């Protein structure tokens, strides 16, 4: 769906992008991860032609973006800019309606759509539609930014640190909601972040960048298990094993109940990482697993978790 071929961007002598080649399949969520200044935003903005590459080509849906009208192209993509950039003189509803309005939708249609989008990102339309950006908290503003990007139902989303300005708990909630959304909408998403945990949690594939180059482009499990370069290794840091556990669903590790009744249990939907930290915190070796109604359905053992990690390592 989106393909970068040897994309180079130079500012004078400075090379912001040093030949990036990358392919994002339709319906995939790819994160651009890397330290500050490594060129994530620059790469993202070559897709909607806010930045023209010095060399190389960007294809969207197999068409060279240089052959497309920039304005039209941008209307067809959802974009959340790094600094949110809500229009201060427009209400929340008007902000969300911007792209539908540019596309010439009828008033009723775009209003209905905008309200639907607000509800989708968890903002009660009745409360928030009439507010102005200065009356929103940081997290609410980011949600409005996301709703604005989604409003015209674009097949491609470019999200530049969409949850950058919020505290960790809110950020996690936004991530969960976004994942739920994405599992329904199946957009092609380029998601910029410099937060490793966020990338591991949400990505189909991670593109880890450094100094304008791609260091490694792999699914999170692979990236965490086999760092290709010393840079990747040091970027992932010592907690990468723990992070790997967070990508392992608990489902495959559950054993049937035996006569032993564990005193602590966690929900079925939790990740192996949560099971592991609960085990560490409680000092137990076995944990109960409960279903949505709270009924105990199985067990998970510390040994199984350890084996799962080392098995993957092999």
Ligand X SMILES: Nc1ncnc2c1ncn2[C@@H]1O[C@H](COP(=O)(O)OP(=O)(O)OP(=O)(O)O)[C@@H](O)[C@H]1O
Secondary structure of 11-59 as H, E, C letters: ECCEEEEEEEEEEECCCCEEEEECCCCCCHHHHHHHHCCCCCCCEEEEE
Pick from 29, 38, 97, 120 the residue near ligand X by CB under 6 A: 38
Q: Which option in Mg ion, other proteins, ligand X, none does residue 243 bind, with CB closer than 5 to 8 A by kind?
A: none
3-class DSSP state of 172: helix
14 is an interface residue for ligand X by CB under 6 A: yes
Q: Is the dihedral of CA 151, 152, 155, 158 positive or negative?
A: negative
Residue 195 vs 274, nearer CB to ligand X: 195
From residue 53 to residue 92, what is the string marking binding to Mg ion with x (rule CB under 5 A)?
-----------------------------x----------
Q: How far is the CB of 147 from other proteins (least distance, A)?
A: 13
Q: How far is the CB of 208 from ligand X (least distance, A)?
A: 12
- According to DSSP, the β-strands at 213-218 and 265-267 are unpaired
Q: What are the φ/ψ torsions at residue 286 (nearest 5 degrees)?
A: -135, 145
Q: How far is the CB of 19 from other proteins (least distance, A)?
A: 25
With CB atoms as reference, the residue minimizing the distance to Mg ion is: 41
Q: What count of residues does the chain have?
A: 314
Q: How far is the CB of 19 from ligand X (least distance, A)?
A: 14
Q: In whole angstroms, what is the distance from residue 254 CA to residue 2 CA?
A: 39
Q: Which option in ligand X, Mg ion, other proteins, none does residue 99 bind, with CB closer than 5 to 8 A by kind?
A: other proteins
Residue 160 vs 218, nearer CB to ligand X: 160
**Residue environment code for 130-149, b if the CB has 16+ CB neighbours within 10 A, otherwise e:** ebebeebeebbbbbbbbbbb
Q: How far is the CB of 170 from other proteins (least distance, A)?
A: 21
41 is an interface residue for Mg ion by CB under 5 A: yes
31 is an interface residue for Mg ion by CB under 5 A: no
Pick from 11, 67, 108, 134 the residue near ligand X by CB under 6 A: 11
Read off the DSSP letter of residue 290: E
Structure tokens at 80: 């959340």
128 is an interface residue for other proteins by CB under 8 A: no
3-class DSSP state of 145: helix
- Positions touching Mg ion (CB under 5 A) are 41, 82
- Positions touching ligand X (CB under 6 A) are 11, 14, 16, 36-42, 82, 194
């Amino acid at each position: 769906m989106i393909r970068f071929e040897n994309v180079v961007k130079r500012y004078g002598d400075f090379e912001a992008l040093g030949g990036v080649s990358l392919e994002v399949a339709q319906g995939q969520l790819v994160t651009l991860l890397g330290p500050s200044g490594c060129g994530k935003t620059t790469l993202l903005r070559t897709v909607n032609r806010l930045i023209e590459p010095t060399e190389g080509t960007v294809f969207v849906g197999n068409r060279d973006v240089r052959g497309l009208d920039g304005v039209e192209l941008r209307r067809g993509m959802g974009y959340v800019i790094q600094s949110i950039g809500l229009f201060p003189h427009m209400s929340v509803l008007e902000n969300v309606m911007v792209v539908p309005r540019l596309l010439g939708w009828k008033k009723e249609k775009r209003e209905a759509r905008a309200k639907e989008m607000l509800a989708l990102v968890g903002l009660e339309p009745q409360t928030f539609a009439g507010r102005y950006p200065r009356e929103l908290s940081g997290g609410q503003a980011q949600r409005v930014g996301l709703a604005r990007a989604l409003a015209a139902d674009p097949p491609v989303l470019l999200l530049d640190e969409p949850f950058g300005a919020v505290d960790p708990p809110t950020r996690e909630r936004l991530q969960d909601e976004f994942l739920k959304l994405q599992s329904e909408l199946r957009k092609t998403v380029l998601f910029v972040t410099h937060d490793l945990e966020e990338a591991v949690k949400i990505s189909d594939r991670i593109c880890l960048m450094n100094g304008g180059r791609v260091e490694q482009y792999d699914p999170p499990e692979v990236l965490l298990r086999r760092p290709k370069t010393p840079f990747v290794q040091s970027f992932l840091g010592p907690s990468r094993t723990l992070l790997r556990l967070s990508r392992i669903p608990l489902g495959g590790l559950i054993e049937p109940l035996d006569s032993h009744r564990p005193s602590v249990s966690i929900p079925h939907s939790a990740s192996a990482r949560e099971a592991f930290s609960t085990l560490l915190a409680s000092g137990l070796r076995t944990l109960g697993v409960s279903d949505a109604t709270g009924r105990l359905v199985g067990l998970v053992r510390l040994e199984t978790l350890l084996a799962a990690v080392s098995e993957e390592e092999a």
